[in-house]
Amino acid sequence: MSEGPPPEGTAAEEEERTEPRIRVIKGTPWRIDAARRERWSAEEFVREHALEVRQIGDPVLHRPASRPKLPKAELEALVARMFASMVASNGIGIAAPQIGVPLKIAIIDVDGAGIVAIEPTIDEISEEIEETSEGCLSVRGFYGMLERPLGARLSAADVNGKRFVIEGDELGAQCMIHETDHLSGTLYIDHLRSREDLYPIRPDETEEVGA
């Protein structure tokens, strides 16, 4: 997912933010800890392991992903490649199909949450919605304006198959929904009211890509 250009006042609001936008409600998620984050973010590691992010039109992005049946070591190696690819693209989240692997695995990294979700599902969304900007690593150079719920609840499995539940607000909820959509073959542009709600990112705008 990627954030589009932030509205006026966002920078000040970010500085004042103290509450995390993703919270663990039940269980213990598989998290990218500080040691892995440092190792997987290192320039040499990213250069060696990051893969090209697939772009809109690639068949892998437009069909449902499958349940992963990989050994733990292979799952971790895949997650490392996903994370390196996300870092290379300045992301805040990524789904396995975006690097050409059609499996139901996503990383949600809003506010550095570092949560790895296997077979995630969105169980609840808030009734309150807002129009917001959204971008995607797989729709490079553009952002869209669309309505998203302000809150969401997601359940998923960790690397050992144990379920956990997280809740997200605002960008946290947006990223959770965006990544879960990827695993069903849906991109955010499929939710736009029309292609007139899709805008190119100007050179003077910051594209913080997320998922």
Which residue, 184, 211, 190, 201, is CA-closest to 95?
A: 211
| 157 bridge partner residues | 118, 163
Which is catalytic among the residues 179, 205, 207, 208? 179
What is the rounded distance in angstroms from the CA atom of residue 55 to the CA atom of residue 48? 21
Query: What residue spans of the chain are helical by DSSP H?
Result: 10-16, 34-41, 43-49, 72-88, 171-182
3-state secondary structure 54-66: CCCCCHHHCCCCE
179 is catalytic: yes
Element (H, E) at 26: strand 22-26
Active site residues: 179
